[in-house]
Structure 1
Amino acid sequence: MIDLNYFDLTQPVHYLNSGKFTAQPGWRHAPNRHNNTEIMIGLAGTIFLRIDQQPVTLKAGQVLCLAPQTQIDGDRPCERTAQFLWFHFTSQTMPNIVSKAATTPKIIILPRFFQLKDPTRSLLAGQQLLDRGHR
C-alpha cells in the first residue's frame, strides 16, 4: 500500500468532478478503481472502506487521498448516516522519491490518510471548490 502521494505542481492539475455524498444506514461503497486521483473528506458519521484490501474508516475531519488505480470498495455497510466530500482530478504524480521532494519546492506530498488539524478552513475551501465546480 502506498502511504504517500507526490504531486509535481510544475505541471497542471486538472479538476474533473466533485460532490457531497450522504450515505444512509446500510450503504456500502461499490468496488471501483479510477484512472485519476480522488480525495475524500469525512464530514459526519463513519464510512467503512477497503483500500487495496486494507480496512480504513473515514470519519469527520479525516482525509483519504487515493492515487490512480487504487482499488476502493466498501468493507461493511454504514451503521448511521454519514457524509463526505469527494474530488477527482488528474495531475503529474511522481514515484515515491523523498530525496527529490525534499529539495524541490514545486512538489507536494499528501499522505494517503490523515486527520485535519483545522477542519473549518479546509472544509470551507472544499465547499468553495465544490460550488465552483458545479457552476
Structure 2
Amino acid sequence: MTSWQFGVATPVHYLRSGQFTADLGWQHHVMTHGADLELIIGLQGSVALAVGAAGYQVEPGDVLTVFPHETIRGTRPTLVPSAFIWFHVVPTSVERPVRLPRFFHLADQAQAVIAAKQLLDIAHGEHRLAALADYQATVAVLQLANDAANQAAGVGQQQSTINQVKEWIRVHMAQPLTVPQVAAAFHLNADYLTRQFRQQTGLTVKGYMNAVRLDYAKYLLLTTDRPVQEVAHRAYFADEKYFSRLFKAKVALSPRQYRLAYTHTFLNNKQVDPGIDVHSQVAALEQVRQ
C-alpha cells in the first residue's frame, strides 16, 4: 500500500505525540498499530525504519506514514545523532477525504514542522481542552496532505522557491538589490527567476521589491509623524522624488495625502524590524479612517 485515504469532515482524534532525539546506536523497537495512524517527520540525522517488508531511511524533511494495523520496526542502529517528530491520530470520518502517501519528502519543511510543533506544545501543555489537540492534529495532518498533493502535482518546489525569494527580499530590503543579485543568492538564472516570479505572484521581482518598501513606507506614514523625506530614507528609497512619484503611481495619493486620509495610530513599539511583512498591518491600519 502506497497511500492511505481518510476523511476530515470531523477532526481526527489525537492520541499521543513527541519529539524524539536518538543517540548513536538507537534502534526503533517493534510496534504494531491498532486503528491509529502514525506520522513521522525527520528533523536531523538518519533513522532506518521498516513498515512490513519495505525499508525507509528517514532524514530531515522526510515524512513516513504508518497506516492502521501495520507494524513498524528499526532495521539498524543510528550512525549519527538523529531526531524526528512523531504523532498518532485516529481518523473519525470517511467524508471529505484526504490522502497521505506512505513516504515523501517535504520540499519546504517550515509550515508542516510549525504545525507539528504547535501540536506538541498544545498536547503537552498543563491546561488544555481535549478538543484543542484534536483540531491541531487535524491541522498538522492537513498540512502534510496538502504539501504531498502539491508536490505530486509538481507545483510545490517552484512555489517554495518563490516564497523563499520573497522572504529573502523582505529581510534584505535595506540593500540596493538587483534582480541578478537576488537570482544569484538562490543559484538561479535571472531570466528564469523573473518568469517564475511573475507566474507565481503576478509581479516582477523589481516590482515586488518596490511593493515591500512601499508597504514599509505606508506603515511609517501611518504610525509615526516623521517627515516624508525621512520616511523615504527609512523605507530604503535613496531618492525622495522617485519615492513620491512611485507612491502616487501605486496608491493614487501623495505620501502626505495618504497620511492625512487615515487616522494616525501610534503603536507602542519603538522600532520596526525591516524584515517583517507589514502588509497585513498596513491593511488593518487603513481600515481606520478619519
TM-score per shorter chain, which class?
0.7 to 0.9
- Structure 2 gap ranges (5+): 126-290
Change (3 A) 1:80 1:93: farther
Change (3 A) 1:93 1:74: farther
Match of 1:128 among 106, 118, 121: 118
**Structure with the largest fraction of strand:** 1
**Structure with the largest fraction of helix:** 2
Q: CA deviation at 1:10?
A: 2.2
- Structure-1 residue corresponding to 2:109: 119
Q: CA deviation at 1:11?
A: 4.0
CA distance in 2, matches of 1:11, 1:75: 36
Q: CA deviation at 1:122?
A: 1.0
Give the TM-score of the pair, scaled to structure 2. 0.41
- Structure 1 gap ranges (5+): 95-103
Change (3 A) 1:85 1:77: same
Q: Which AA in structure 2 matches 1:60? A: P
- Structure-2 residue corresponding to 1:100: none
Between the two proteins, what is the percent identity of the paired residues? 37
1:108 aligns with 2:107: no
- Structure-1 residue corresponding to 2:29: 30
- Structure-2 residue corresponding to 1:3: 2
Give the TM-score of the pair, scaled to structure 1. 0.87
Instruction: Give the structure, 1 or 2, with the largest relative contact order (CA under 8 Å, sep 6 or more).
Output: 1
CA distance in 2, matches of 1:55, 1:93: 30
Q: How well do the aligned residues superpose, as a CA RMSD in angstroms?
A: 1.4
Counterparts in 2 of 1:39-58, with a 5 A limit? 39-58=39-58
- Work out which of the two has the higher radius of gyration on C-alpha atoms and give 1 or 2: 2
Q: Secondary structure at the match of 1:117?
A: coil
Counterparts in 2 of 1:66-85, with a 5 A limit? 66-85=66-85
CA distance in 2, matches of 1:129, 1:12: 14
CA distance in 1, matches of 2:103, 2:3: 9
CA offset digits 1:35-90 (Å, max 9, x no partner)? 11100000000000111021111000010111111111011000011000000010
Q: Which AA in structure 2 matches 1:69? A: H
Q: Secondary structure at the match of 1:28?
A: coil
CA distance in 1, matches of 2:115, 2:11: 19
Change (3 A) 1:67 1:93: farther
Q: Secondary structure at the match of 2:115?
A: helix
Structure 1 ranges of 4+ moved more than 4 A: none
CA distance in 2, matches of 1:63, 1:119: 10
CA distance in 1, matches of 2:11, 2:64: 21
CA distance in 2, matches of 1:12, 1:130: 17
The answer to whether the 8 Å contact 1:5/1:93 transfers is no
CA distance in 2, matches of 1:122, 1:32: 25
